[in-house]
Structure 1
Amino acid sequence: MDPKLKTIALWAGLGAGVTMSSILLYLLLKPEEEYEVKRRKVETTKHSVLKVTVPKDVVGGVIGRQGANVKRIQEKTNTKINFDHQGTGEECDRVAVIRGAPSDVQEAEELLKACIEEQSNVITETVFVPAKSCGRIIGRNGETVRHMCRVTSAKILVDRAGGDDRERSNNLKTVSITGTREQIRMAITMIDEKLAEEEAYQQKMALASAGRDSLYRSRPMAIKASATPLSKDEKEPDYVQDELVATSADGFIEVYISALENPSCFWLQIVGAQSINLDKLVEDMTNYYSHEPNQQSHAVTSVAVGDIVASRFTQDNCWYRARVVAIQESDYSQDETTIKVHYVDFGETGRYKTKELCTLRDEYRYLPLQAIECSLAGVQPRDGTQWTEEASDLFETLSHAAQWKVMMARVVSKSKREDGFPGFKYSVELVDTNNKEDVNVATELISQGHAVQAI
């Protein structure tokens, strides 16, 4: 055969072989490709998308705090829910887009519609609570009211403003609760619990005050000695704060605990001649200011924070020296302005109208202010921030507060008062020596689990 023909035949054979191989490969792969396409189509048919319109007025409630309601539905139904705007404005309804398996999407739709129906029944109710209870309802840094909102899913707003005439005349504050009727019912129940706690606390404090019936009369020094009058040369400058100065080699001083808020804030008086002079001062002030003409001649016309005035103590109607620490202006009359006072010789506080206070006569100014602000050294609250009521109650018992039993105090440190008024605040060690065994108050607070050692 001609060599050229032989070459052509060879190439023709090779071409035919390649063509047949390609055809065979196509035939082998074609069923698999068609299977893949069919499988993808089946998977697509298993995925469903559904849109639900959510009215703009209930969108927030349907979504829930930080998306809690939507997350709950997604987890329960194994779906994905996103929200789109139906229109271009912020005031338009929203569209919930649900994605997932058909049966899951249907279940999510039912749950979402039920949530919409529930939120459509959301209402707002207003209740009135005593103003003095607002702090307990709100809690430290708002912790209590936030807990109520989380538990009930209601929105609770405590009005801290002055309120209307009804609120002012009855010393009430409004609490607005927004939610379903069940949510509102739960919220009111929790608020009632806090009101009951506050009422119990106020009753306990009232009983404590009633038990002492006077700021000063039951002190033993008042019947063991008579007052030593201050001569003109011995009179101190106006409003000098008494100071804690050790009278024994071990550094301890005999004191009375006259008032307290908690272990980090209490007031004491030094046992001694000044206690007798204080009793005489209170007696003289009470005799003088109990007469109506004297009250009129010393009526307060204007007052500022820091002023020292003469004020009654509600429980005994005796008159005492008091410093103005806060002023709540009245919209109606200067005489109706509420003044918070701090009794500078005892540490107690009170609230009175301007017209109930009197200016202080010069002769009542010279005795050093007897109540010395202190904190208990070496301890701090268990949580490091705030004393519990139980801790304060135990401290009151251990220190014999307002019982006029002698306690021993030793100064650990002192610092300028935070309120800017004259004098120091002392950090002291307290020891009760009234029984066979001495009791260190700080150690006892720690041992009973109400305090920890200060860092």
Structure 2
Amino acid sequence: MDREPVYGGLDDGQVEALLPDCDTCVAVEIATIINPAHFYIILPWGKRTLDTLLDPRSTDPGEDDETLDELVTSLQRRYGNMTFPQRTLVHYAEGELVVARFAQDGRWYRAKVLCSDDRERNTRIQVFYVDFGNKEWVSERDIKPMEPQFLHLPFQAIECFLVDIEPTGHADHFSQKAKKMFQEMTDGKTLVAYVKSRSWSGCLYIDLFDTSGEEDINIGKVLIAQGQAQVPRPHSETSLTSRSGSEGSLLLIPG
């Protein structure tokens, strides 16, 4: 079965600096949806727990650090009006960090090169946007080397898996209806994630809640109740990662 590759991995230092601890609740925003059980998040207030966010006496030790919004603004200022020499006869290497212009809004974002396709006259390069979790093919004119001053902020996109759900029946993938329902429940919202575990590579395994109403909503349980997901079968041969295979991703931000 196809597996969705993991791009934009974190080194050990970045994992500790960026990822919340297990058994904590943190505020999250969905950046890119692969399916209801596999998506990328950003942490709008970093790894601060919900308890500290709600405590008026608590201060943010990183409140003077540069934010993602500030970094993106700096990228536009630097790359938006610059004229770069044409890069010729040089191939971008797989894994190379670059700045790429996102087709949907024409803005520049940090990215990592996945692969290139030079079979046609105009070389196309597939990139992974390390701060948002989506990928796309861009032309060579829409990709530039990343300057060192834009590397200090850890990559903000965190790969997540929603625990205790899988596609209904014996399907290999979630339906488009399930994906749409998950999008409608999460789009444009600040949600709460309960971190159940995390992997050595920087992935989080979470429960996800919408706490904006009078009652907290467990999004996984709603999907199950609406028939768009089911509790994983005992001794299932498939896992969350194997079920996230070749499904297309849905970008919520930037844009």
TM-score under structure 1 length normalisation:
0.42
1: CA distance between counterparts of 2:74 and 2:142?
18
Structure 1 segment 301-340 matched on structure 2, within 5 A: 301-332=90-121, 336-340=122-126
Identity %: 29
Match of 1:260 in 2: 33
Q: What displacement does 1:276 show?
A: 5.9
Query: Which position in structure 2 is the counterpart of 1:397?
Result: 184
The alpha-carbon distance between structure 1 residues 309 and 300, as it changes in their structure 2 partners (threshold 3 A), is farther
1:114-193 superposed matches below 5 A: none
The size of the alignment, in residue pairs, is 207
Q: Deviations over 1:188-207 (max 9, x none)?
A: xxxxxxxxxxxxxxxxxxxx
CA spacing shift, 1:305–1:240, aligned 2, 3 Å? farther
**How far 1:297 sits from its partner (Å)?**
7.9
Residues 1:380 and 2:166 are matched in the alignment:
yes
Contact 2:19 2:202 in 1 (8 A): no
TM-score between the two structures when normalised by the length of structure 2:
0.72
Q: Contact (CA 8 Å) 2:18, 2:154: kept in 1 or not?
A: no
Once superposed, which parts of structure 1, at least 4 consecutive aligned residues long, lie more than 2 Å away? 239-244, 273-276, 295-302, 329-332, 413-416
Partners of 1:406 and 1:275 lie apart in 2 by: 21
Which residue of structure 2 lines up, in the alignment, with residue 189 of structure 1?
none
Q: Larger radius of gyration, structure 1 or 2?
A: 1
CA distance, structure 1, for counterparts of residue 196 and residue 89 of structure 2: 40
Q: 1:354-396 CA distances to partner (integer Å, 9 max, x unpaired)?
A: 2320000000011000010111111000125211111111111
Aligned residue among 342, 348, 360 for 2:146:
360
Q: Which residue of 1 aligns with 2:199?
A: 415
Which whole-Å CA distance do the structure 1 matches of 2:89 and 2:150 have between them? 16
SS of the aligned residue for 2:85 comes to helix
> Are positions 1:341 and 2:127 aligned together?
yes
- CA-atom RMSD in angstroms: 2.9
- 2:166 and 2:66 map into 1 onto residues whose CA distance is 34
Higher RCO structure, 1 or 2 (CA under 8 Å, sep 6+)? 2
Map of 1:195-206 to 2, 5 A cutoff?
Answer: none
| Structure 2 counterpart of 1:413, one-letter code | S
Shift in Å, 1:330? 2.4
Q: Distance in 2 between matches of 1:340 and 1:274?
A: 34
SS in 1 for 2:193: strand
> Counterpart amino acid of 1:430?
L
| Structure with greater proportional helix content | 1
* Cα distance in 2, alignment partners of residues 439 and 398 from structure 1: 10
Quote the Cα distance in structure 2 between the aligned partners of 1:246 and 1:313: 32
Amino acid at match of 1:408: V
Superposed displacement of residue 296, structure 1: 2.6
